Amino acid sequence: MTEYVGKPMPRYQGLGEVTGTATYVDDVQYPGMLYVKVLRSPVARGTVKGLDFSDTLKVPGVVGVLTADDIPGVNIYGVYGDQLVLNPQDLRYKGEPIAAVVGRDEDAAQAGVEAVKLDVEELTPVFDMFEAMKPDAPIVRPGTTSNLFEYDEQGTTTRIIKLGDVEAGLKEADHIVEGRYIEAIQDHAAMEPQVSVALIDDAGRLTIHTHSQCLNYHLAQLCPVFGLSQSKINYLGGRVGGGYGGKNEINCDHIAGLAALKFCAPVKYRLTRQEDLAYTGKRGAWVFDYKTGVMNDGRIVASHIKEYHDSGAYCGFSPYGTEKCGMFASGPYNIPNILIEANTIFTNRYPSISMRGYSVLNGQVAADVQMSRIAEKLGMDPWELRFINAWRDGDMGASRYVVDGVGALEAMKRAAGMAGIELPDKLLQMSSRSR
């Protein structure tokens, strides 16, 4: 083992990458392969009143269309099982797939999409989380009465993480520092746009060439859509041209698979760069309100954090992301009194999904910008404030876990060194092993 640890090793499969012979999904081709383009919602919120494919079917090169009625299994997928593969009715975000057109090439399929007579009644959308929480806001999820995700059957919408007594802590503090932090959405923009190739193979199975980042997880979502057991699907992955969480979401495999089943032919469904940017999941937006109680000597005694996460029109990964974010939103600091209140809010935006250091980093960025703000207020060196409050072995985190093997101080010392910042001796002498 020790001959490998800490030493650079040539990448597994790396020779394929440097010679251009590595096979990514879009590199896969089959004779007679058909191509898919998707008809997407032109509005952020609306109702489909009419859907007529008669002109589409006349377009030269169009082989046929795929609608919700063609789905052999259930028209549901997603981590929380709330997303429609093809939505024929209540549209919740701009770009939501309504139906697909299959053609001999992409130009024909696209011409077919443009020939669809789609009649949509546009409804007023809501894009802002705080607007969406108002009682008279447009309702994103038809059939519900609020835009807040419910975490249990009792209808709990606010997840609470509590340590000590935050009110008492804030009362005892010498200073109160408040701050609001707004984090915008972010796209993964992997170099490989989303794509899928599906066909019925020689064993009669549905074979799908995928760039999924989580094969078994996606296979479990796809089986009910196709109405097939796992043994009837050959889900071939392993080569991902960059994912960063963006390929934790199914964007093409379900539609390509359905088209292959319906038309009994190899099918490729790939997004252009523009489609990939416009229609695939993003790291969702977050807003945080911090209220921190701090003593004159820099010790933080209380932290009250309100977290708001924009889930978009469906769950995506958001309810889980909100919880995970909350657990770390007080930062790697020893704070005896903490109250975190976290909400997941639906809006008519694209469903939010995972991305690098998913959700944890969102809270930590806010927590540490708040630290800088506190330091400024106290007139204290921000390094010193962080060193005083950083976790030591045996401290307790917000959700009552005792931390152990902590390296915050050591990491900060090293970072300062690399940045050419000289820290005062009293900070250099501190250690994560004791306070």
> Which residue lies nearer to ligand FES by CB, 157 or 186?
186
What separation in angstroms does the CA of 174 have from each of 163, 180, 267, 290, 294?
20, 21, 66, 16, 6
Name residue, tokens 């038309």.
Answer: 263
Q: Using the rule CB under 8 A, is 188 a contact of another protein? A: yes
Strand 286-294: give its sheet, edge to edge. 158-163, 337-346, 300-312, 286-294, 175-183
> Which residue lies nearer to ligand FES by CB, 242 or 424?
242
Binding-site partner at residue 240 among another protein, ligand FES, none, CB < 5 to 8 Å by type: another protein
Q: Using the rule CB under 6 A, is 242 a contact of ligand FES? A: yes
Q: Using the rule CB under 8 A, is 26 a contact of another protein? A: yes
CB count within 10 Å of CB 425 equals 8
Binding-site partner at residue 232 among another protein, ligand FES, none, CB < 5 to 8 Å by type: none
Residue 375 CB, nearest distance to another protein (Å)?
30
Structure tokens at 435: 């306070």
CA 248 to chain centre: 8
Structure tokens at 430: 């501190």
Q: Which of 69, 135, 143, 191 touches another protein by CB under 8 A? A: 191
Residue 344 CB, nearest distance to ligand FES (Å)?
31
Binding-site partner at residue 418 among another protein, ligand FES, none, CB < 5 to 8 Å by type: none
Q: Using the rule CB under 8 A, is 331 a contact of another protein? A: no
Q: Using the rule CB under 8 A, is 241 a contact of another protein? A: yes
Choices 115-123, 184-192, 290-298, 421-429 (CB under 8 A): range interacting with another protein: 184-192
> Which residue lies nearer to another protein by CB, 22 or 48?
22
Q: Using the rule CB under 8 A, is 23 a contact of another protein? A: yes
Cα-atom radius of gyration of the chain, to the nearest Å?
A: 26
CB count within 10 Å of CB 426 equals 9
> Which residue lies nearer to ligand FES by CB, 241 or 257?
241
> Which residue lies nearer to ligand FES by CB, 11 or 433?
11
Per-residue contact track with ligand FES, 32 to 71, x per CB under 6 A?
A: ----------------------------------------
Region 244-303 residues binding another protein, contact defined as CB under 8 A = 244, 272-273
Name residue, tokens 């408040």.
Answer: 178
Q: Which residues contact 3 (CB under 8 A, 6 or more apart)?
A: none
Residue nearest ligand FES, Cβ-based: 191
Structure tokens at 281: 């999941």
Q: Which of 74, 118, 139, 189 touches another protein by CB under 8 A? A: 189
Pairing of strands 97-103, 195-200: unpaired
> Which residue lies nearer to another protein by CB, 25 or 166?
25
* Torsion angles phi and psi, residue 78, rounded to 5: 110, 160
Cα–Cα distance for residue pair 97/106, rounded to 1 Å = 17
Q: Which of 5, 9, 191, 418 touches ligand FES by CB under 6 A? A: 191
Residue 182 CB, nearest distance to another protein (Å)?
25
User: Residue 291 has what DSSP assignment?
Assistant: E
**Torsion of the alpha carbons at 377, 381, 387 and 389, rounded to the nearest 10:** -10
Contact present, 189 and 356 (Cβ < 8 Å): no
Cα–Cα distance for residue pair 201/170, rounded to 1 Å = 65
Pairing of strands 34-40, 233-236: unpaired
| Contacting residues toward ligand FES, per CB under 6 A | 191, 242
| Contacting residues toward another protein, per CB under 8 A | 8, 10-11, 13-24, 26-27, 29, 188-193, 240-244, 272-273
